[in-house]
Structure 1
Amino acid sequence: MLEVNNLNKFYINGDMKLHALKNINFNIKDGEFIAIMGSSGSGKSTMMNILGCLDRNFSGKYILDKIDISKIGEKDISSIRNQKIGFVFQSFNLLSKLTALENVELPLVYAGVNKKEREIRAKEILTKVGLIDRIHHKPTELSGGQKQRVAIARALINNPSIILADEPTGNLDSISEKEIMELFTELNNQGKTIIIVSHEPEVANYVKRIILFKDGEIIKDGERL
């Protein structure tokens, strides 16, 4: 599903040149459950931006579903992000004036899906993440764990190839963290490919494979390091 070959990323700041990612190579198969881990400054967030097609300023190859990301235009990139990648963020990124249902519907609004179909699909996904009784609540009326469930539902609404989660438990208490990681586990068991970027050691207890970064390099790649 996903292939990274000899990938390098540099940041230029005046006369300074920072080698942020160094000759990165790995493959991810359909249905895997992976954590990309490392301390602050290790390169994991830079790697996430590339995997999410948010940053294409790199050398080497990144192939997603047989598409060479470095060789396509910005319009096509936007389409790929919308159709193939479901994003989940630490800060939830929900719109405060919209209900849970309306937040989940948003990607379908952008895709031009009619209102009735949007509502049916959003309710199905919110049921799946255990929030059907909160569909008319706004983010301020939800707990942190519930907000993240809404964000996960929104990420799932277009049935993407990959769920890419950036520090998804970073703003949660330990009980909510456990609930969210168990939800990801359930989704993976249903066949979803899930990539979690995190520095929290608890995440490692749930995933099936860990890619560990340090100083811009992969230092370990395997099961439960």
Structure 2
Amino acid sequence: MKVTAALIAAAYAADPVNWPGQSDEDPCGTQIHFPESAVNATCTLDFNGYNPWRVFLGGEFIVDEYSFTNFDGIGSDSIDVVIFWEQSYDGSTGLLSNATCGYDTDVSLNCVDYGSALPGVYFMETANDFRMMKESNYNFQVAGAYPGDVVAMQINDAVGNGFACMNLTTNSGEINVDGINVIEDPWGNLYSDTGIITINVADYASSTVNLFTQQQPGQPWEPSLWKSNVSA
């Protein structure tokens, strides 16, 4: 099913929020609540030509750039979106320019019903908040994997480089330690400088495969699952 113009209009009227930027690294933003479910569907956001700096979905599963899905027992009957827009300083005034700031009326959502769970493995969009403190802890969650699968993750940061992380653990199976992408230190702790991590999924894994990590001290940017990929 596709979201109709009436539904989108209703979503815009459901208390959208827009706010001004504080700096080019804490820019203007928008929050919107859509009365639509991504369960067994593929939903895609459009920004009317404006460029988002960060997009938070809070529990939806990433299919492609600004496209996502969800699953029975995990997804809800509505979608909450938070967008921070690209914003820079005006060279003539030294003030932040609002020219690149979108508003709630610039954001639209289109959902197409798949009829059942979308096949494949997908990251849950939960870990790309630039406001998190350095060395924060992150839980990367993957849906669509089964016992016996080998889930291969390439976790990247907000600018597309490998996310350097440490203190890797999982409650979903076993992390493969290859001495190149995942290394065990002298104290038995696992870390990765590349963000390339594989997990052998165990029989006791839940409906989502979990990887628990901590940002390395020298890692400059937060993780972005929009710029990451996963396979099994």
Task: Please indicate, yes or no, whether the TM-score normalized by the shorter chain is above 0.5.
Answer: no
Q: Larger C-alpha radius of gyration, 1 or 2?
A: 2
Structure with the largest fraction of helix = 1
Of the two structures, which has the highest relative contact order with CA contacts closer than 8 Å and spacing of 6 or more? 1
Please report the TM-score for the alignment, with normalisation by the length of structure 1: 0.28
Structure with the largest fraction of strand = 2
